[in-house]
Chains A and B, each alone.
Chain A
Amino acid sequence: MRFFEYEAREIVKRAGIPVTDYGFTTDATEAKEIAQRIGGPTVIKSQVLTGGRMKAGGVKFADTPEEAQAHAKDILALEINGHMPRGVLVDPKAQVEQEYYAGVVWDGTAKKPLMLFSDMGGIDIEQVAEEHPDHVGRGHFSTLEPFSDFQAKQVIAAAGVTGRALQRATPVLARLARLFLENDMTLAEINPLAELKDGSFVALDAHMEMENEGMPRQKALLGALGIGAQEGTREGHTPTAFEEAVKAIDAADHRGVIQGKDTGFTGNIGLVIGAGGGSLTLTDAVRQQGGKPANYSEIGGNPSVAKACGLAKQVLRLEGVEKIAVMMSIVSNTRVDIVARGVIKACLELGKDPGETIAIFRIPGAWEEEGFKILDSYGIEYCDRSVSLWEAAGRAVAKIEKAAA
Chain B
Amino acid sequence: MRNDGLFIAVEIDDTITADAELAKKLTEACPVDIFAVADTGGVELVEGNIDECVLCGLCLAAAPAGAVKIIKIYDEEALLTR
- Contact surface of A with B, Cβ cutoff 8 Å: 304-306, 335, 337-338, 341, 344-345, 348, 370, 373-374, 377-378
Partner of B51, one of A305, A335, A370, A377: A305
Chain B residues within an 8 Å CB radius of A341: 6-7, 51
Chain B residues within an 8 Å CB radius of A374: 7, 74
- Contact surface of B with A, Cβ cutoff 8 Å: 6-7, 32, 51-52, 54-55, 72, 74-75
Contact status of A377 and B54, CB under 8 A, knowing A341-B7, A344-B6, A345-B6? no
Question: A378 CA to B74 CA in the complex, in Å?
Answer: 9
Chain A residues within an 8 Å CB radius of B6: 341, 344-345, 348
Chain A residues within an 8 Å CB radius of B51: 305, 341, 345
Known A341-B51, A373-B75, A377-B74; further 17 A-B contacts with Cβ < 8 A: A304-B32, A304-B52, A305-B51, A305-B52, A306-B52, A337-B55, A338-B54, A341-B6, A344-B7, A345-B6, A345-B51, A370-B55, A373-B72, A373-B74, A374-B7, A374-B74, A377-B75
- Shortest CB distance B47–A (Å): 13
Question: A335 CA to B56 CA in the complex, in Å?
Answer: 12
16 contacts between A and B (CB under 8 A): A304-B32, A335-B54, A337-B55, A338-B54, A341-B6, A341-B7, A344-B6, A345-B6, A345-B51, A370-B55, A373-B72, A373-B75, A374-B7, A374-B74, A377-B74, A377-B75
Question: A348 CA to B51 CA in the complex, in Å?
Answer: 14
- Shortest CB distance A341–B (Å): 5
Question: A345 CA to B72 CA in the complex, in Å?
Answer: 15
Chain A residues within an 8 Å CB radius of B55: 337, 370
Chain A residues within an 8 Å CB radius of B72: 373
Chain A residues within an 8 Å CB radius of B52: 304-306, 338
Nearest opposing residue in chain A for B8, CB measure: A341
Nearest opposing residue in chain B for A371, CB measure: B74
In the A-B complex, list the 8 residue pairs whose CB atoms are closest, starting with the nearest.
A377-B74, A374-B74, A373-B75, A341-B7, A305-B51, A305-B52, A304-B52, A341-B51
Nearest opposing residue in chain B for A376, CB measure: B74
Nearest opposing residue in chain B for A377, CB measure: B74
Chain B residues within an 8 Å CB radius of A337: 55
Question: A78 CA to B72 CA in the complex, in Å?
Answer: 63
Of B7, B32, B52, B72, most buried by chain A (CB within 10 Å of CB) is B7
Question: A344 CA to B52 CA in the complex, in Å?
Answer: 13
Chain B residues within an 8 Å CB radius of A338: 52, 54
Chain B residues within an 8 Å CB radius of A344: 6-7
Question: A304 CA to B6 CA in the complex, in Å?
Answer: 15
Nearest opposing residue in chain B for A378, CB measure: B74
Chain B residues within an 8 Å CB radius of A305: 51-52
Question: A305 CA to B7 CA in the complex, in Å?
Answer: 11
- Shortest CB distance A258–B (Å): 16
- Shortest CB distance B54–A (Å): 7
Chain A residues within an 8 Å CB radius of B7: 341, 344, 374
Nearest opposing residue in chain A for B52, CB measure: A305
Question: A213 CA to B52 CA in the complex, in Å?
Answer: 31
Question: A341 CA to B55 CA in the complex, in Å?
Answer: 13
Chain A residues within an 8 Å CB radius of B75: 373, 377
Of B51, B52, B72, B74, most buried by chain A (CB within 10 Å of CB) is B74
- Shortest CB distance B14–A (Å): 28
- Shortest CB distance A211–B (Å): 35
Question: A305 CA to B48 CA in the complex, in Å?
Answer: 11
- Shortest CB distance B74–A (Å): 4
Chain B residues within an 8 Å CB radius of A378: 74
Chain A residues within an 8 Å CB radius of B54: 335, 338
Chain A residues within an 8 Å CB radius of B74: 373-374, 377-378
- Shortest CB distance B33–A (Å): 11
Question: A299 CA to B72 CA in the complex, in Å?
Answer: 25
Question: A335 CA to B53 CA in the complex, in Å?
Answer: 12
- Shortest CB distance B78–A (Å): 9
Chain B residues within an 8 Å CB radius of A373: 72, 74-75
Nearest opposing residue in chain B for A344, CB measure: B6
Question: A370 CA to B80 CA in the complex, in Å?
Answer: 12
Question: A305 CA to B52 CA in the complex, in Å?
Answer: 6
Chain B residues within an 8 Å CB radius of A377: 74-75
